[in-house]
Structure 1
Amino acid sequence: MPDPTDSPIDASPDSDEMVAPRYCIGIDLGTTNCVLSFVDTHAETRRVEVFAVPQWVDLDTLESRTTLPSFHYTLTEPEMSAAMTAKANRKLARYLVEPPGERVGEYARVAGSAHPGRLIASAKSWLSHEGVDRSTDLLPWHGDADVVKKSPMAASAAYLAHLRLAWDDAHPDWPMADQDVVITLPASFDEVARELTVAAAAHAGLPRIQLIEEPQAAFYAWLDRHADDWTERVRVGQLILVCDIGGGTTDLTLIRVRPATAKTASGHDGADVEVDGAALQFHRIAVGKHLILGGDNLDLAIAKSAEAQLDAPLPARRWQQLVAGARGVKELMLSPGRPSETTIHLSGEGSSLIGGSVSLTVTAEQVDQVLLDGFFPDVALDATVIGGQSGFQELGLPYAADPAITKHLAEFLRTHRETGLDDETVDSRRVDLVLFNGGVLRSTAIQDRLIACLTRWFGDDDPQWKPETLQSPRLDLAVSQGAAYYALVRRGEGVRIAANLARTYFMQISQSPARAVCMIPADAQPGQTYRIDSLPMELRIGVPVSFPLWVSSTRLADPPGEVVDIDPAEMTALPPIHTALQDRKRKKETTLQIVIETQLTEIGTIGVYCVAAPNDPSGKPSAVNSEPPTTGRGSRGRWKLDFDIRATLETDREAHEGGGEASGIVDEETLESCEREIESVFVHANEKPAKLVKRLQSTLELRRDDWPPVLLRGIWECLIRVEPHRRRSPAHESRWLNLLGYSLRPGYGVAVDDWRTAQTWRTLFGKIAHDDPQTRAETMVLWRRIAGGLTEGQQAQLASVLKRSLTYGGLRSESAEAFEAWRLAGSLERLPIQDKLDLARAALTQLERKKARPLYPALLWAIGRMATRIPSYGPLNLVIGTRDVSNILKRLVDSPALRVRSDDESESGHASQIHAAASLALTQISRRCHDRFRDIDDADRSRVLRELQTLDAPSHFLRLVEEGGQFDHEEQAAIFGESLPLGIELR
């Protein structure tokens, strides 16, 4: 990820060496639409204008429009042929950035309604989705098999690249990359989403940009529209609410009106503000939590209401078409002059297109009921937001569980009722002025409902009072216009909003008790740096360390260096920061004293730096750039630490919650005793390898299953140190491999497990010393145990090796090696769907062979993992589709494995194993997840329930298939293949 501090944004207009760019450009990189506005500073009268963006509106038709819909579409083969004919006219297509076969904008939006599996939508929401690897190619979600997927960052970059190429074509002497460019983002975006936005811009050919939060940009647009009279519309002490409800998010911001001050950035306020003689000044004092709750949710709700007219739920693909149709209904019904009703037409599937077509009528009254009562209910100021999981699972995004936007607004205003009351001239505790923004708020009915709620919440003392609405003629253009105006403000023109950070950042320093130190205060200003030297740290060279980070939008008074208790009700975990240090001069293990420096960069991202303490006697450190998961950079004892994006999905989401690490604290003496036992086997060869686990259990006075994760990771470190001695004999290597995998299982759950897993991979893959069946089997056990920490590429390499032996019968059915090979294959949840299908079909073929009976439990276990509806750790976009799963279920139920009986007493134990494995596999494949893209159909479900009853499966399994729910701890252990470390659960 690019370091924003490496590329200065400003070419200062006061510089004698550089000429200021001609254009100030503002880009609204929206969930539903992108807009580009600009100010020509060479014009006689400087004003904000909207750039009409040329784009395809049909395969052979170009038009220029004020908005570029934020949709990316992959053409079908017939569309591709027609598009290539159109592109033969280079005059039409000379500036378009899309590669052949791809379109963004209006045509993508329209064509995607008919072919939703080829459409990327809501990329901006995915950019802020902390539950997936946002740098991975995963869109379109549930896309067609022949569509090349893109990451959320790459999709965002495609929209920016189209805007840049279109601008450059219209302004060849003033390319966009050389202008002052400001890109907007939600105020509630986390730090990873902010940095990914910067990366998307760089990928689109815009290496130097400035970021601004959308609610601020909307308010700047209002200031620009009222340049002549804004001082007459506001007064000191007032509180302004900016309520921005766009396609993907609800963004809430509070701005205080304060007396103008002569203080500069060096003063307490940190606000370098000039108001052209006016006696007022605007201070952004609070921002709301990140809520993926906006127009997309309204689309889903309208679609659900329309679907209720049918006798049965629509299949997944037709549901996507209905959602796309509901989007059009929402836009129509939220516009002035709307009709009393409209119709959504769904074409039929298969050969009976006419017979299978559906028309659904949606009335204006129905839309009002769904949207107003569902999303904007009339609630009290003390209304509580409901937690949990959203009912909409099909689109893969973590939508807010409680759709009532008025509840979220009430909670926000309650939380910040006292915020900013640190000036004797400011005493208003109610919202005086409201600025609405975002496409959803084009509806006057929704605006009226919000104003009515605010009036009731704050108007008790004055029955005639209600907040004043600051009007905006085009809510869909205001953010872009305000961003362009802000680019002008940065040159010293116009009115600046004094925007403090409005959130406080903390670094966790202890687990028990959970405490953190404030590293960036809420009143931080861009460019300010903080040095946290009250708590010097000692780090071991060459050992990975983790810095868990937290952010709070309610603890706004903590100063830098203040140590506080971690309260999850007030603080939210961020992706952690990892690093590993080494001393260039000294190879031996040593320690380094460091302090932490932090910075709010000029473009609005967070910088965290590790700095060698001035009196540290050891040599100057350097970041280990090649050591995953860090990419730290720096010189002279100071380097930047990067957020570990992948950790938001894998390792340290659990570590933040303390699940793995809180299960036991281990002292150095205990670890030293373990190290002595390990060295006695591998270094000194005083003990037999087979006795090592028993000796460790005796030394620790703990059964192996009770070893806490922190102890296990300590044992892993000891084993890595003696790694060269595993080569003593096959017995030594087998025991070393077995204990190494056991100590690192399941590959995540403790801070820096990504690094440990990467170290294990580099040490072992393709480097086994003794090529015998037992060692090969133990190698497979190790990779299965830590599969959750392996990357897609690493799993693909393992699968490539496995396919040769499993699909071509290279292993004997009765061998331990074959048994473990199938279990390893089933644990690789990051494989592409086609690879999973190939392996599942090979396993089913083996399952149909009575001679493979010794392998039945492993085969069933593997099939259950490969075809599961809810992966243990893998991404949902790699779940096998329902059509293929239906075929898998049919073959599985008809296989000889499910007909094994226990009449023969000598075989009864093995038969019970097979029945238990079959029950678990069927339950994993059929568990209801309330996502129509993953749930099996009713006929398959009924068949599975009958089979589970025949197998005498636990009643809990039947409930999971019928109703959904979670596996308990013992069932999770069965899915994992053995016991899980204390405190770590499969997700």
Structure 2
Amino acid sequence: MSIVQATSAAMTGDLEELPSRYLVGIDLGTTNSAVTFLDTHKPDAAIETFLVPQVIAPGQIEARTTLPSFHYQAASGEFATDALKLPWSKSDESNLVGIFARDHGTSVPGRMINSAKSWLSHSGVDRTAALLPWHGTADVDKLSPVEVSSRYLKHVRAAWNYAHKNEPLEKQDIVLTLPASFDEIARELTVEAAKQAGLKRVVLIEEPQAAFYDWLAKHSDSWQQQVEPGQTILVCDIGGGTSDFTLIRARAGEENLVQFHRVAVGEHLILGGDNLDLALAHYLEQKLSPKEKLPADRWSILVRRCRQIKETFLGPEAPASQTVSLPALGSKLIGGALQCEVTLAEVHQVLAEGFLPECGLNETPQTRTSGFQEFGLPYAPDAAITRWLAYFLRTHHEVIEPEHRHASGAVRPDLVLLNGGFFESPVLKQRLLDVLTGWFASQDPGWKPILLENQHLDLAVARGAAYYGQVRRGTGVKITANLARTYYIGVGGGDSPEAMCLLPATTEPGQEIDLNQTFQLRVSEPVEFPLFVSSTRLIDPPGQLVPIDPQQIKSLPPIRTVLRARRRAEAETIPVHLHARLTEIGTIELWCAEVGTDRTWRLQFDIRSATQTDVAAHQSAKEAEGMLDESQWNGAETLLEETFAANAPRKPQPLMKDLDAALEMPRDAWPTSLLRRMWEQLMDLETGRTKGPTHESRWLNLAGYCLRPGYGLALDDWRVSETWKLLQGKVVHNDDNCRNQSLILWRRIAGGLNRGQQLALAEPLLVATRAMHKRMNSGGGGGNASTTFTPQQAIEAWRLLGSLELLGAQEKTEIGRMLVDLLGKKKLEPARGAMAWAIGRLGTRVPVYGPLNTLVPKEIAGQWLEGIYRQKTSDRADLLAVMQMARRTDDRYRDLPEKVRTEAAQWLQSKQAPEHWIRIVREGGQLDEEEQSQIFGESLPTGLVLMR
């Protein structure tokens, strides 16, 4: 969590081996990666650049100073045999990284992956899931951001080992770089990518520090004359995907020698060269196609072209103007090409004014949603890098010693180091310096920061990483770095939740913090420890209670666990103290100890569950609902025990009606907290479902109702996991009603299941649906009784399949195609509404909880619309399905063509659909609670809002 992270205890063991011959620095960049090294067997060894061999054209291999971070999967037969073969490969490569992957992929964007590093830090998706390329062609293999990053490193490893057969890369000490602002999960996943590439002797360093280390290495004989105690160095590292700000203080050490301390890092901003490309593409789109948006394939080509246009116009010898052309695609080869002129002034206006505008030092970044959401990445909500920099300097004013603070109330840097491809442009470099100078000119006329020399922006980070490897062995100048952020644990709730400081940013490696406050902790049942982090509140002392201000304190994935007592069934509340420690290798340890005893529990940061973030954020008032009067609960508890306990006399049929009476409210008004408490009681009474089919069907029905929609309340992921472990999709009694209620239960809690569990549920239903589809389309032949449904099971099975949003686009396409074929079959008329409902969920443009990368292609959704239109009759389920599939989102990769959406709106109007549905298709918008419930399939728990 700080500057250096070891991968694991196993990795630490590797580092205790004999020192390796080479110290290797790897910059795993968003746009380009670079490798440097020091040969420690050479006297006075200098940092060298490893030239990486790569395919630059079919049949042509060259070694270059950088490896472009682009991945391309060739189509079968796309190139001649051996055209893509690498020197160390025994066979032709179908997956390429580097120059040719970038250059050729520009014209075939559906097969190319770029910006994997930005996806690695995207907290809104499962970063371990195969989701790239985000809008790939149907036959391309999807990869996770971790796997893509690993493939870049695998290429580097293979190239290195080919050149150093006796000194393989996996045996060398490697320093791998990453943004200072990477969250804890992104750091762990970067290490995981290295492990997958076979590189285990790895430590991490923040890129801005690596850039400054490179400057120190280049000026080893003169830096003492350029830096003096009391000065502040600002490092601005802006690459293809991120903007990173870091402050380093020069302080007086022993004998008044300068010592460097990294004192602050900025928040994670997905804002860099990629955003410039998008901004320019949006501008040129208006000139190329003023009446309508470009289709997705042409838009992708335009974005890649804009990268070249940007580099041309922001370079040192920019032309006055240039013609931009987009080739025709498909059948419109004559007259289909688009062309426009773009001038130097236009490019400067869009990029320099758009990303580095003049602004005041007191200005705050806008928090509106960014317009740049084309590729699914959560780009910074404000594109103005200068506003983010002003905010950074202002909010970190207190890290400077009082006697050195500037009167402006912001950090005034004495020296500035600019790094990253963004600053290859002299225009952008000078613009940032001019804005920075202007902020302090009114109080200090004539003042300007000293710009530190950085001649190799593409190699500085990798060079600094290799130098840091040398520093770790005791040679060179070290930058001292404490925690970059302050960590908190949530305490209390209600209207004004607070957080207690666990580890302040001043914590040093090896330091242990004991919080003497006493907490009441429940053991032998699930508990959640909310965690928070701040990169602006850096001086809160341990134990300090602070309000949770979203502008200053961000939430982290919580620790969710069950702390076991000595006896498994022993549930108790005990007093504990919390202890936290920053280890020597930079990781955080957290544990709690019972007051007055020797019982302790280690709290593990659950990286795995933190990456499983497919479930979309939602809004809910459920935590504030409180609980019912205990006497009311006692009545409900008694009813459940009298129904499902061993030898209980009560029949299960009237249970729901009796619960309504005992709780003095109808079931659709039961608060979420009550529902989850009932679920816990049902789990304790689970053996009661074995008493007979009627008991089991009632138990399944009520358990699913109480846990719906499978998420929304703290620890719901644990509840769903426990339900799955207990039931695994199976029933005790071979009874139609039990099987139907099982299907209903899994549909209700589908949002809390992981992809593997959803696939396990879908497989037998797919087998039966295929059999029914074959039989219906062959005049009654095909299929057998053991692989088909009863009519009622078909209804519930298809509704469940429609709810499994983590299924891949290929599985959804097959299911939807079969249901569209079956939609008009007379024998299936009773299931018609369920089929239409499922088609709508499968083809939706806005999923309820699933990730966007699992949506079926918009072309497929358009075909399903035609299938619904062809039906002789229609009902409300058809209208709902059409609205979901034709809904406008303003994402060109999801939205159906405007002509198709217009036809859908007209069809809905002709069927007297609700006006709001028609407006959502024409203009976009949000669904109300009743509409959400219809899409979900039944009423939602009180206060829960699911939709994006």
| Aligned equivalents of 1:892, 1:978: Cα separation in 2 | 23
Partner amino acid, structure 1, of 2:223: W
Q: Deviations over 1:67-125 (max 9, x none)?
A: 0001111112234543x3663xxxx52169x9841111111111211211111111100
Q: Counterparts of 1:304-383 in structure 2 under 5 Å?
A: 304-311=282-289, 312-353=292-333, 355-383=335-363
Whether 1:136 aligns to 2:116 is no
CA gap 1:403/1:925 in 2 versus in 1, 3 angstroms: same
Distance 1:249 1:660, change over 3 A: farther
Counterpart amino acid of residue 166 in structure 1: A
Corresponding residue pairs, total: 925
- Name which of 591, 595, 613 aligns with 1:610: 591
- Contact kept, 8 Å, 2:116 with 2:148, in 1: the verdict is yes
Number of the residue aligned with 2:42: 43
User: In the alignment, which residue of structure 1 is the partner of 2:143?
Assistant: 150
Q: Which of the residues 497, 510, 521 maps onto 1:538?
A: 521
Q: State the distance in 2 between where 1:549 and 1:897 align.
A: 54
In 2: Cα distance, 1:777 partner to 1:670 partner? 31
Aligned CA distance change for structure 1 residues 86 and 126 (closer, same or farther; 3 Å): closer
Match of 1:94 among 78, 85, 88: 88
Residue 462 of structure 1 aligns with which residue?
A: 444
Aligned to 2:498: 515
- What amino acid sits opposite 1:493 in the alignment? T
Q: Is the 8 A contact 1:346 1:357 kept in 2?
A: yes
CA contact (8 A) 1:813 1:852 kept: no
Q: Which moved more, 1:775-784 or 1:580-589?
A: 580-589
Listed one character per residue, the Cα deviations across residues 242-291 of structure 1 (whole Å, up to 9, x for unaligned) are: 1111111111112222222x5xxxxxxxxxxxxxx663222222111111
What pairs with 1:592-611 in structure 2 (closer than 5 Å)?
Answer: 595-604=577-586, 606-611=587-592
Report the residue type matching 2:639 in the other structure.
E
Tell me the residue number matched to 1:549: 531
* Alpha-carbon offset, residue 7 of structure 1: 3.1
How many angstroms apart in 1 are the aligned matches of 2:115 and 2:413? 31
Query: Matches of 2:405 and 2:945 in 1, distance apart?
Result: 53
Contact in 1 for aligned 2:771/2:788 (Cα 8 Å): no
Over 3 Å counting, the alpha-carbon distance change for 1:617 and 1:373 in structure 2 is closer
Equivalent in 757, 767, 772 of residue 794 of structure 1? 757
The answer for the alignment partner of 1:64 in structure 2 is 63
TM-aligned CA deviation for residue 483 of structure 1: 1.1
Q: Which moved more, 1:59-68 or 1:446-455?
A: 446-455
Match of 2:662 among 693, 696, 699: 699
1:425-444 matches, within 5 Å, as 429-444=411-426
- Does residue 570 of the first structure (1) align with residue 552 of the second (2)? yes
Q: Pick from 839, 844, 847: which aligns with 1:863?
A: 839
Match of 1:280 in 2: 258
* Residue 894 of structure 1 pairs with residue 870 of structure 2: yes
Q: Distance in 1 between matches of 2:509 and 2:56?
A: 41
Q: Write the mapping of 1:765-784 to structure 2, written as runs, cut at 5 A.
A: 765-784=728-747
Q: Distance in 1 between matches of 2:276 and 2:927?
A: 32
The aligned runs of 1:512-911 (5 Å cut-off) are 512=494, 513-532=496-515, 534-541=517-524, 543-582=525-564, 586=568, 595-604=577-586, 606-613=587-594, 615-616=596-597, 638=602, 640-646=604-610, 649-650=613-614, 659-665=621-627, 672-683=634-645, 684-809=647-772, 815-898=791-874
The answer to whether the Cα contact below 8 Å between 1:846 and 1:852 also exists between their aligned partners in 2 is yes
- Separation in 2 of the partners of 1:235 and 1:617? 51
Task: Give the C-alpha shift of residue 944 in structure 1.
Answer: 0.9
Q: Tell me, what secondary structure is at the counterpart of 2:480?
A: strand
Distance 1:647 1:723 in 2: 31
Could you tell me how far apart the structure 1 residues matched to 2:856 and 2:307 are? Answer: 28
**C-alpha deviation, 1:489, in angstroms:** 1.4
Match of 2:779 in 1: none
1:502 to 480, 484, 490: 484
- Residues 504 and 556, structure 1, Cα contact 8 Å, conserved in 2: yes
With structure 1 as the length reference, what TM-score do the two structures score?
0.89
Gaps of 5+ in 2: 773-784
Partners of 1:380 and 1:975 lie apart in 2 by 47
Cα deviation for residue 590 of structure 1 reads: 6.0
Identify which range, 810-819 or 289-298, moves more after superposition. 810-819
Secondary structure class of the residue paired with 1:63: strand
SS at match of 2:106: helix
Residues 414-443 of structure 1, C-alpha deviation per residue, up to 9 Å, x if partnerless?
Answer: 211232225679988422222111111111
2:399 aligns to what? 419
SS in 1 for 2:522: strand
Question: Could you tell me whether the CA contact under 8 Å between 1:303 and 1:326 is conserved in 2?
Answer: yes
**1:70 and 1:430, CA in 2 relative to 1: closer, same or farther beyond 3 A?**
same
Counterpart selection for 2:387 from 404, 407, 429: 407
- The residue number in structure 2 matching 1:7 is 10
User: Using the alignment, how far apart are the partners of 2:444 and 2:944 within structure 1?
Assistant: 55
1:447 corresponds to 2:441: no
Q: Contact between 2:393 and 2:411, CA under 8 Å: does it hold in 1?
A: no
Structure 1 residue runs of 5 or longer lacking an equivalent are 263-276, 621-636, 899-913
Q: Is the 8 A contact 1:576 1:644 kept in 2?
A: no
Distance 1:794 1:437 in 2: 45
The equivalent of 1:907 in structure 2 is: none
Aligned to 2:780: none
Q: Secondary structure at the match of 1:886?
A: helix
Deviation at 1:473, TM superposition (A): 0.5
* Mapped partners of 1:288, 1:665: distance in 2: 41
Query: Residue 194 of structure 2 aligns with which residue?
Result: 201
SS at match of 1:391: coil
Counterpart pick for 1:953 among 889, 894, 913: 913
Structure 1 distance, partners of 2:29, 2:99, is 14
Which residue of 2 is the match for residue 633 of structure 1? none
Matched residue type, 1:111: H
The aligned counterpart of 1:23 is: 22
Amino acid corresponding to residue 678 of structure 1 in structure 2: L
C-alpha separation between the residues in 2 aligned to 1:953 and 1:18? 72
Alpha-carbon offset, residue 593 of structure 1 = 6.6
Amino acid at match of 2:184: E
**Alpha-carbon distance, 1:671 to partner:** 5.1
* Stretch of structure 1 that moved more, 578-587 or 106-115: 578-587
Q: Is the 8 A contact 1:343 1:360 kept in 2?
A: yes
Distance 2:14 2:770 in 1: 61
Q: 1:18 to 1:778 in 2, by over 3 A?
A: closer
Q: Is the Cα–Cα contact under 8 Å of residues 596 and 608 in structure 1 kept in the other structure?
A: no
**Closer, same or farther in 2 for the Cα pair 1:62/1:712, shift >3 Å?**
same
Structure 2: distance between partners of 1:146 and 1:965:
33
Q: Give the 3-state SS of the residue equivalent to 1:549 in structure 2.
A: strand
Cα distance in 2 for partners of 1:770, 1:687 equals 20
Q: 1:958 and 1:384, CA in 2 relative to 1: closer, same or farther beyond 3 A?
A: farther
- Partner amino acid, structure 2, of 1:292: I
Q: Distance in 2 between matches of 1:753 and 1:226?
A: 56
Q: Aligned in 2, Cα 1:365/1:746: closer, same or farther, shift over 3 Å?
A: same
Tell me the percent identity. 48
TM-fit CA distance, 1:191:
0.5
> Who is 1:632 aligned against?
none
CA distance in 2: counterparts of 1:679 and 1:663, whole angstroms: 25
TM, length-normalised to structure 2: 0.92
- Give the secondary structure class of the aligned counterpart of 1:979: coil
Q: Distance in 1 between matches of 2:582 and 2:499?
A: 19
Contact 2:888/2:920 (<8 A) preserved = yes
